[in-house]
Amino acid sequence: MSRPPEGRSSETDGAAPDFATFFAVSLDLLVIRDSDFRIVKVNKAWETMLGYRTEELEGQLMLSFIHPDDVPASHGHMKRMETERDVSGFINRYRCRDGGYRHLEWRARRDGDLVYGVARDVTERLAIEAEMAAARVSAEAANRAKSDFLANMSHEIRTPLNGVIGVAAALAQTELAPAQREMVELILTSGSTLERVVSDVLDFSKIEAGKLEIEVRPFDLRVEFDKPLELFRLRADEKGLRLPVSYGATARGEFLGDVVRIKQVLGNLLSNALKFTAAGEVRVAVDVRDPGDGGPAELRLQVQDTGVGFDDAFAAKLFQRFSQADETITRRFGGTGLGLSICHALVEMMDGQIAATSRPGHGSTFEIRLPLPRCRTLADYDRAAPAPLAPLGAGEGAPLEALRVLLAEDHPINQRVVELILEPLGAILTTVETGVDAVSAFTAGPVDLVLMDMQMPGMDGLAATRAIRRLEAAAPERARTPIIMLSANAMRQHTEEAQAAGADLHLAKPVTAASLVAAVVRVLDEVP
């Protein structure tokens, strides 16, 4: 059987190929079988790998060495060779002399009545792949468990935090003695800090799991930056600090980017700067560099403070997780040590760069550079400059006068928070504690707006929202009612679930008077 197949002869340096030598030196398993599936010839690799001598194999049926579970599929591949010339890629198990089995991956070609096969032992490879698959399944399960845990913890923390911040904010609007006002402000500050910690932990978890996404949308640079910078200026005033803000000549216009994440980075840097600065100022510079070659513009944000600063040793680990300057800083200022790590990750996800310079006792400077395509040229933007928006409630009495609001909320403190915010603005509030009651109340009387908690006993907020939308679909003459999902479930999946159920907006707890009223005004404007 050492003759080459017909039509396969060739010459190398004038000599015919030596197939016996090829059989002898090959590390792969080589076999020639006939049309009755009997082994005609095998090479020495079979003896090395499976333990059989070649004479024990030659003349035997190949199927007698195959694992019983693999015989039907193997027989099917062998039968295919009667009509097909080549078969490759199938794997089966061959019995070794010691009774064990090895996985072999095959490639075969038919030539006349004979089939020439090459097999490679892939037992170790398959074992490694199985281990990796098991590890991947285990890791995915661990990630799901961690995400579920964080989502539940976020809900459990945000629910009472909503009561703390909401009631304190409502209390701050009443007449208070100076000492009482100071205590209320301390509550609000502490509540805001706790909310930031919860948000940082959730963002950190999503970044680790690769689930945090960048959403590219059009936004107006000055419109988006002016309001949060003004809020930080108020915080600076409370500490007796100056907060000058400068815009470059071209730092205006409409851009494409994730403005929520950009403001998050800027907010983290400003929060740190104000926290670590006892006297002097925190300076913000916003600039935009247009390349002039049709490429994206570059947004440059710089936050410079006159605070405690840090040395070169700490600069090397500045953006690492859980890093803080030293134990003294930790005791004085607190924090999770996640803020700058999250900033670094977000900036990198937006294809930007973040850097810092500092000297102990002389302050720090952080600079961000982000590529941001313009939506339109600066000249086109200036020609179509929008008119300024009227302030909320301008020219009106109470901003939400006679607005009929259905609140579905099972937590009594959170019920009271919404009442304290909306009733002074003229809203007429109906409060229920379950999803079933929410659907009944919606059916019973006219409702202009629904505020729906997500987690309630019995029927939850998602099911109740779907039920309300079905009622509306069955009565097309009835106007669509705006629904705001007001929930301590604050992760992205919860926002998507709320939208899928039919909610117009998802507002995460804790809510403030400003955020709730803004959400109400927004959905009333958007829903016809």
What residue segments make up the domains of the chain, in order of their start? 19-121, 216-391, 404-526
CATH 3.30.450.20 fits 19-121, yes or no: yes
The predicted structure's pLDDT at residue 214:
80
The predicted structure's pLDDT at residue 211:
65
pLDDT tens digits for 44-96?
Answer: 899 888 999 988 999 999 999 999 999 999 998 888 888 888 888 889 999 99
Average pLDDT, the chain: 82
The one-letter code for the residue type at 122 is V
Average pLDDT over residues 162-176: 80
| Residue of 62 and 329 predicted with greater confidence | 62
Longest dimension (CA), the chain: 110
The yes-or-no verdict on residue 282 having pLDDT over 50 is yes
Q: Are strands 404-408 and 449-452 parallel, antiparallel or unpaired?
A: parallel
- Residue among 339, 336, 307, 311 nearest 325 (CA): 311
DSSP 8-state code for residue 35:
T
DSSP 8-state code for residue 281:
B
The yes-or-no verdict on residue 393 having pLDDT over 70 is no
Residue in the structure block whose two tokens are 């009631």: 167
Judged on CB neighbours under 10 Å (0-12, 13-18, 19+), 428 is middle
Q: Are strands 86-95 and 101-111 parallel, antiparallel or unpaired?
A: antiparallel
* Phi/psi-derived region of residue 174, left when phi > 0, alpha when psi is between -120 and 50, beta in every other case: beta
Tokens of 357: 């310079």
CA distance 62 to 74: 10
CA distance 266 to 282: 12
CA distance 243 to 235: 9
Backbone phi and psi for residue 468, each to the nearest 5 degrees, phi listed first: -65, -40
Contact assessment for residue 73 and residue 90, using Cβ atoms and an 8 Å cutoff: yes
CA distances, 512 to each of 259, 266, 527 (Å) = 21, 21, 22
Residue in the structure block whose two tokens are 């070659």: 293
pLDDT tens digits for 306-315?
Answer: 998 888 777 7
The one-letter code for the residue type at 335 is G
Contacts of 129 (CB under 8 A, 6+ apart): none
The yes-or-no verdict on residue 332 having pLDDT over 60 is no
CA distance 264 to 341: 12
For the range 146-152, what are the long-range contacts, defined as Cβ-Cβ under 8 Å and sequence gap of 24 or more?
146/205, 146/209, 147/205, 147/209, 147/211, 147/491, 150/201, 150/202, 150/205, 150/491, 151/489, 151/491, 151/493, 151/494
Contact assessment for residue 62 and residue 32, using Cβ atoms and an 8 Å cutoff: no
The predicted structure's pLDDT at residue 14:
45
Contacts of 19 (CB under 8 A, 6+ apart): 2, 3, 4
CA distance 390 to 13: 92
Contact assessment for residue 319 and residue 289, using Cβ atoms and an 8 Å cutoff: no
**Backbone CA torsion sign across 349, 352, 357, 361:** negative
CA distance 431 to 453: 11
Assign 457 a pLDDT band (cuts: 50, 70, 90): confident
Assign 259 a pLDDT band (cuts: 50, 70, 90): confident
The one-letter code for the residue type at 229 is L
CATH of the structural domain 216-391, one choice from 3.40.640.10, 1.20.1260.10, 3.30.565.10, 3.40.190.10: 3.30.565.10
Percent of the chain with pLDDT over 70: 84
Fold entry, domain 404-526: Rossmann fold (3.40.50)
The predicted structure's pLDDT at residue 339:
74
pLDDT tens digits for 92-132?
Answer: 999 999 999 999 999 999 888 899 999 999 999 999 999 99
The yes-or-no verdict on residue 200 having pLDDT over 70 is no
- Residue among 249, 243, 253, 245 nearest 222 (CA): 253
